[in-house]
Amino acid sequence: MAPKIPQQSPLQHSDTVATAGGIPQHAAHPTGWRRWVLTTNHKEIGTLYLIFSLTMFFVGGIFALVVRAELFQPGLQLVEPEFFNQMTTMHGLIMVFAAVMPAFTGLANWMIPLQIGAPDMALPRLNNFSFWLLPVSFTLLLSTLLMPGGGPNFGWTFYAPLSTTYAPSSTTFFILALHIAGISSILGAINIIATILNMRAPGMRLMDMPLFVWTWLITAFLLIAVMPVLAGVITMMLMDINFGTSFFDAGGGGDPVLFQHLFWFFGHPEVYIMILPAFGIVSAIIPTFARKPLFGYASMVYATAAIALLSFLVWAHHMFVVGLPLVAELFFMYSTMLIAVPTGVKIFNWVTTLFRGSISFESPMLFALAFVVLFTIGGFSGLMLAISPADFQYHDTYFVVAHFHYVLVPGAIFAIMAGVYYWLPKWTGHYPNETLAKWHFWFSVIGVNLTFFPMHFAGLAGMPRRIPDYALQFADFNFVSSIGAFFFGASQLLFVLVIVLCVRGGKKAPAKAWEGAVDLEWTVPSPAPLHTFETPPVFQSTDK
């Protein structure tokens, strides 16, 4: 199922070697498995990231289906509660750190050099290293499920002291795995910043960059700012568990609430790390298929930056019930609501781009449009959760689960799928099978809503999250959710089928695969040759 980079014609290849004279690593091409393990090419590394992410999407998805199967009806049927807790925890960890984040990094690797007219990433060897850390990290994390005492069972937020004093003995491995994944993200972010700031085509100013590049630049800064904080928190956990310190142990003078402050100081920017690149993808696709320039380019950039800055000031809205003083409840409530303003600017701009556009509904556009609608639903439930007094009712219920799945599944993941369908012609030289892609889209939209919409009602009625059993009155909602989850999960096999078919053949795509596409990636042939832009392209600045 692994998509391969299409064979390069000998002519392109010898051209490449000739023009890359003096850079020895370009002349030597290892073959077979060594080609993939040793590659420093941004396109091959991007492909590796995307394959890894898709694999982990299915691993995390299977964990979610274990959860949904157990919740299909009330009572304990299939798994032990202890294993159920490991499944909810692993589902969250895998989806956040191994599926969504690497998918965006993969898209960044593939597309940022192409979109800014650079021959490769700034630090190609580091790029190889950051990718190969990921399989190491997640093999380690998944192996904890087989260890005595089981894997992490304390939720993906791993609140101390549940994750320290009361944690299974495999927690040290969990911490190491997260450290490695964090280093991978950090190195990826350094590489992306260095590439964007230094390797743009001559004449391309920052305000000329495509929005996917802009949103990734801001995301990379967020990663630089908060991944070290995560590293700090898990280091403190490590010391509490193994070296007798008491950072989070009240008995030794520490404070468990401090853990939550530190975690969410990382955690809230982290959720924007998972959505800002999605904004960038959608901002590329909607103008292409509406055949109009993006409305309000500059305001999009400023809105993204504003969201990123505000993300540092809202963390305690995850902690409204820990006993914050009234002033803090008010501050975090209002600052959280303030984020709706720049986000609203973005939604407004997308809708205005569509207004009187000459719209066609190919599969990337369908996913992008579903993103706008369904992400907005997730945004609204976020606003409801921001109301501090109301949050006392919603906190830790399925309403929260519904909220963040709406922003992550039809939000981040739909945007990734939209991006994959949008750029597949550039990657493989073939259009994806449009009929199958449309079936995939409609099954996904129906599956997502069937799964997550009833969770709003179950949550408002008081069903707590992270439990293997529930009161009888929630049975109908859970029944629907579980059917939707299996439907959604199964329909993702179509996604794999479309990708495999597209790699193997299909309608040939020209360099400019979509009529309304404007960015630099559409000036190189489809499929994109292994080496592109070795002489920088001439960039004509247009006033966006």
Partner 1 sequence: MHADQADGVKKTVTKTVFALVGMFAFAFALVPLYDVFCDITGINGKVATTAKRAIGEDVNTDRFVTVQFITRTSAGLPWQLSVESHQVKVHPGQMTEIDFLFTNRSQSVSGGRAVPSVSPSAATTHLRKVSCFCFQEQQLQANERLTIPLVFQLDNTLPDDISTVTLVYTLYPLKESDEKPSVAKNMNNKNQEI
Please enumerate in sequence order all residues whose Cβ is within 8 A of that of 490, keeping only pairs 6 or more positions apart, or say none.
none
Q: Which residue lies nearer to partner 1 by CB, 219 or 451?
A: 219
Write the binding mask 452 to 481 for partner 1: x where contact by CB under 8 A, - elsewhere. ------------------------------
Query: Smaller CB distance to partner 1: residue 32 or 325?
Result: 325
Determine the interface stretch with partner 1 among 95-103, 117-125, 338-346, 354-362 (rule: CB under 8 A). 117-125
In whole angstroms, the minimum distance from the beta carbon of 173 to partner 1 comes to 21
Would you say the C-alpha torsion 380, 310, 285, 526 has a positive or negative sign? negative
In this chain, which stretch among 187-195, 304-312, 404-412, 455-463 interacts with partner 1, using CB under 8 A?
A: 187-195
> Rounded distance, CA 57 to CA 124, Å?
26
CB of 469 to partner 1, least distance (A): 24
Phi, psi of 237 (to 5 degrees): -60, -45
For 522, other C-beta atoms within 10 Å of its C-beta total 18
- Spell out the residues 6+ positions from residue 19 whose beta carbon is closer than 8 angstroms to its own: 531, 534, 535
User: For partner 1, which is the closer residue by CB, 434 or 534?
Assistant: 534
Closest CB to partner 1 among residues 254, 529: 254
In the complex, minimum distance from the CB of residue 514 to partner 1, in angstroms, rounded to a whole number: 31
With respect to partner 1, which residue has the nearer C-beta, 236 or 417? 236
Q: Does residue 316 touch partner 1 according to CB under 8 A?
A: no
Written in H, E and C, the secondary structure of 147-208 is CCCCCCCCCCCCCCCCCCCCCCCCHHHHHHHHHHHHHHHHHHHHHHHHHHHHCCCCCCCHHH
Nearest of 424, 409, 395 to residue 497 by alpha carbon = 424
Please give the residues from 122 up to 151 whose contact with partner 1 meets the rule CB under 8 A. 122-123
State yes or no: residue 119 binds partner 1 (CB under 8 A): yes
Residue 225 lies near partner 1 (rule: CB under 8 A): yes
Site for partner 1 (CB under 8 A): which residue of 209, 229, 271, 276? 229
Q: Does 186 contact partner 1 by CB under 8 A?
A: yes
**One character per residue 323-342, x = contact with partner 1 (rule: CB under 8 A):** xxx--x--------------
Choice between 489 and 536, CB closer to partner 1? 536
Residue 316 tokens read as: 């305690």
Shortest spacing between CB 392 and partner 1, in angstroms: 15
In degrees, rounded to 5, the angle at the alpha carbon of residue 196 between the alpha carbons of residues 191 and 201 is 130
Give residue 538's identity as a one-letter amino acid code: V
Mark 253-292 with x for binding to partner 1 (rule: CB under 8 A) and - for no binding.
xxx-xx--xx--x---------------------------
DSSP letters of 396-412? Answer: TBHHHHHHHHHHIIIII
Burial of residue 68, with CB atoms counted within 10 A of its CB: 0-12 exposed, 13-18 middle, 19 or more buried? buried
Under rule CB under 8 A, how many of the chain's residues touch partner 1? 43
- For residue 303, the minimal CB distance to partner 1 (Å) is 24
The token pair that represents 278 in the structure block: 């999605």
Distance in Å, CB of 312 to partner 1, minimum: 11
Residue 252 lies near partner 1 (rule: CB under 8 A) = yes
Rounded to whole angstroms, how far apart are CA atoms 195 and 280? 17
Residue 419 phi, psi (nearest 5): -65, -40
Of 26-34, 90-98, 115-123, 361-369, the segment contacting partner 1 by CB under 8 A is: 115-123
| DSSP-derived 3-state class of residue 430 | strand
Q: Check binding of 245 to partner 1 (CB under 8 A).
A: yes
Q: Give min distance, CB of 250 to partner 1, in A.
A: 5
Active site residues: 91, 120, 156, 184-185, 268, 270, 272, 283, 317-318, 343, 346, 465
Rank residues 254 and 432 by Cβ distance to partner 1 and give the closer one.
254
**DSSP collapsed to 3 states, 487-505:** HHHHHHHHHHHHHHHHHHC
Q: Give the integer Cα–Cα distance in Å for 175 and 247.
A: 16
Sign of CA dihedral 32, 107, 51, 270: positive
Cis peptide before 527 (omega within 30 of 0): yes
Contacting range for partner 1; rule: CB under 8 A; set: 24-32, 224-232, 292-300, 402-410: 224-232
In the list 136, 162, 201, 239, the residue contacting partner 1 (rule: CB under 8 A) is 239
Closer of 111 and 316 to partner 1 (Cβ): 316
Q: How far is the CB of 223 from partner 1 (least distance, A)?
A: 10
CB of 318 to partner 1, least distance (A): 16
> Is residue 223 within 8 Å of residue 185, measured between CB atoms?
yes
Q: Are 365 and 441 in contact (CB under 8 A)?
A: no
With respect to partner 1, which residue has the nearer C-beta, 216 or 247? 247
Q: Give how far Cα 296 sits from Cα of 77, 352, 518, Å.
A: 53, 9, 16
Q: Which stretch binds partner 1 (CB under 8 A): 185-193, 293-301, 442-450, 518-526?
A: 185-193
Where on the chain is the footprint of partner 1 (CB under 8 A)?
119, 122-123, 186, 189-190, 193-194, 197-199, 224-229, 231-233, 236, 239, 243-247, 249-255, 257-258, 261-262, 265, 323-325, 328
